[in-house]
Structures are given as C-alpha cells and as structure tokens.
C-alpha cells in the first residue's frame, strides 16, 4: 500500500509504489518466461504426432479396457491382501524407527544439538527425498523380488515422514507442562514420558494413520518393480496388454483406497 503525492501536492493512493509495481510485473514476466522455456524443452523431446493421436489412442484404450474382466478378481484377493500387509507392516516398522529418530531430532529433546541432530536430520531428509518406488528398486536388487523388499521400501520412505512430522509436534509442545514435571524432581526419561508423550499422542496417532493411508496407495504400485503386492499383477497384465484385467485391478485399487481413506479419516477424527 502506498500513499503518494501528486505533482500538485494532494495525496494519491495506489496499491503499490511504481517501483513495487514494476517488480511484481517483472516477477510475473520472469515466471511466465521460465514456464515457456521449460515447455519448449519438453516439447523438443515430444513426438507431437503421437500427441495429436492421443484422443484416438485414449478412446482406443478405453474401448479395450471395457468391460473389465471380473472373473480375474478371484486371482487378485491374495495380492490385494499382500498389498495391505506391505503397507501396514511397513508403517509399523517405520513407527518403530521413526519415533526414536523424532526425539533425537527435536531441538528440545535431542541429546546433542551439535552432533546428533544434524545427522538425524540428514537421515530424515534422505529417507523423505527418495520415493518408495526407488527404495523398492534398490531393495529388490539387494533382497530379491518379493514382499520383504516392499515392506522395507515402505518403511524406509515412511521413517522420514513420521520422524519429521513428529519432531515438529515435539517442538511445538507447551513448555510450561514440561517445566512443571521437571520441577517435581523427575528424571529426563520421566519428563519425556509424563510431560512430552501425553502432549504428542494425538499428533502421533493422527500422522501414523495418515501415513498408513498414503502407504496403501504406494503399496499398490510397488509391484511394478517386483516388490510384491497387486502391482505385480498389474505389471504382468500391462505387459501382455490385457487391458480388461488392468481395469479390474484399477477398480479394486480404487475400492481399497476409498476404504482406507475413510478409515484413516475416522481414526483421525476420533483422536483429535
């Protein structure tokens, strides 16, 4: 907001000073230019005739996808059950590792701000920046294909997520409650258990089910790289272009995700 003086001395009101105006427009211009440049980069690597063909291709795809092959569903229950297990066990493992990391990372509970905290923060960032599919890719090479790689991939990706959100919750606690428990002569572990843990419990429960819900989604595609679950069937069906089977798989995934989202919303509602 700027109040300027006209040449005759009367005050004038404008939203921004001319200088700020110029900066804002310049910023928008630079942003648009960047997007256009980036788009031209992508466009150079695109075979446009394919793209113009996309509506026909898409129509074709949809025509081949319908009707879904429902009978295939009977072979999918076991992989679906595996998928849910990958997500659940993976989340549980991530909680086991992530909770201690969160306490080591939060600046009010870490044993050492200089050494432990930066190391733990790096572990958290590394875990978060690598997608579970990439973790799965690495783990399939190491452990061989199968559920175990999937579980570990989910766990390794979720550790960072859980630890990050939990340590933020720990840093936001009410410090007077901590002070009060400290003043009774409680030891550090007791202060943790009596003043900090009760305060972060709702956040902890909420973010755990939230991550579980995300993990169900992620676990559906881990099979694409061989890490178990329903994605293995999806990969196999796509490879042989059995699109009606793919549709059946999509519908099952959709159903599972809707149920898990509903469940996690219910739980989060109950604890907060």
Partner 1 sequence: MLLKIEGLTKRYPTGDLALDNVDLLIPAGQVMALIGPSGAGKSTLIRCVNRLVEPTTGRVMLDGEDLTALGSGALRRARRRMGMIFQEYALVERLTVMENVLSGRLGYVGFWSSWFRRFPRKDIEEAFRLLDRVGLAHMADKRADALSGGQRQRVGIVRALMQDPKLLLVDEPTASLDPKTSRQIMRLIVELCTERGLAAIINIHDVALAQQFAKRIVGLRAGRIVFDGPAEELQTQALTDIYGEEDWSQTIRKAEDEEDVAEEVA
Partner 2 sequence: MSATTFDAAAAARAWRPPPLIETPWLRYAVYLGALAYALLAIGTIEVNWTRAAEGIERAGRFLSGFFPPDFTSKGDDILEGLLESLTMTVVSTAVGIALSIPVALGASRNLAPLPIYLFCRGIIAVSRTFQEIIIAIVFVAMVGFGPLAGTLTLAFATIGFMAKLIAEDIEDIQASQAEAVRATGGSWFQLLAWGILPQVRPRIIGLSAYRLDINFRESAVLGLVGAGGIGDTLNTSFDRYEFDTAAAVLLVIIAIVLFCEYSSGWIRRKVQ
**Interacting residues with partner 2 (CB under 8 A):** 31, 34-35, 38-39, 41-43, 45-47, 50-51, 54, 57-58, 61, 81-82, 85, 88-89, 125-126, 128-131, 133-134, 137-138, 141-144, 146-148, 151, 217-218, 220-221, 224-225, 234, 238, 250, 253-254, 257-258
CB-nearer residue toward partner 2: 73 or 123? 123
Residue 42, phi then psi, degrees to nearest 5: -65, -40
Judged on CB neighbours under 10 Å (0-12, 13-18, 19+), 261 is middle
* Contact characters 163-202, partner 1, x per CB under 8 A: -----------x-xx-xxxxxxxxx-xx--xxx--xx-xx
The tokens for 102 are 């969160």
- The least CB distance from residue 30 to partner 2, in Å, is 12
- b or e along 19-57 (b: 16 or more beta carbons within 10 Å of the residue's beta carbon)? eeeeeeeeeeeeeeeeeeeeeeeeeeeeeeeeeeeeeee
The tokens for 143 are 């452990």
CB-nearer residue toward partner 2: 146 or 244? 146
In the list partner 2, partner 1, none, the entry touching 181 (Cβ below 5 to 8 angstroms by class) is: partner 1
The residue count for binding partner 1 (CB under 8 A) is: 21
Separation between Cα atoms, residue 204 and residue 171, nearest integer Å: 13
Separation between Cα atoms, residue 204 and residue 175, nearest integer Å: 18
Under rule CB under 8 A, residue 205 binds partner 1: no
């Amino acid at each position: 907001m700027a109040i300027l003086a006209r040449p005759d001395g009367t005050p004038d009101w404008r939203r921004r000073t001319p200088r700020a105006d110029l900066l804002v427009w310049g910023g928008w211009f630079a942003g648009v230019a960047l997007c256009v440049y980036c788009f031209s980069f992508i466009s150079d690597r695109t075979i446009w005739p394919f793209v113009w063909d996309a509506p026909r291709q898409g129509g074709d795809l949809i025509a081949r996808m319908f009707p879904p092959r429902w009978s295939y569903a009977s072979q999918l229950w076991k992989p679906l059950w595996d998928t849910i297990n990958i997500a659940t066990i993976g989340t549980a493992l991530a909680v086991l590792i992530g909770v201690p990391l969160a306490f080591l990372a939060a600046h009010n509970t870490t044993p050492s701000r200089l050494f432990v905290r930066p190391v733990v923060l790096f572990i958290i960032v590394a875990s978060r920046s690598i997608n579970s599919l990439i973790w799965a890719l690495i783990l399939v090479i190491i452990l061989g294909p199968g559920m175990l790689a999937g579980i570990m991939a989910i766990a390794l990706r979720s550790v960072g997520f859980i630890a990050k959100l939990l340590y933020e919750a720990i840093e936001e606690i009410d410090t007077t409650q901590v002070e009060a428990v400290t003043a009774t002569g409680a030891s550090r572990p007791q202060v943790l258990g009596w003043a900090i843990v009760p305060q972060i419990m709702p956040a902890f429960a909420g973010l755990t089910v939230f991550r579980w819900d995300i993990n169900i989604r992620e676990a559906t595609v881990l099979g694409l790289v061989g890490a178990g679950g329903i994605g293995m069937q999806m990969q196999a069906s796509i490879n042989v272009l059995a699109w009606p089977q793919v549709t059946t798989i999509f519908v099952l995934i959709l159903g599972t995700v809707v149920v898990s989202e509903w469940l996690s919303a219910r739980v989060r509602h109950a604890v907060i």
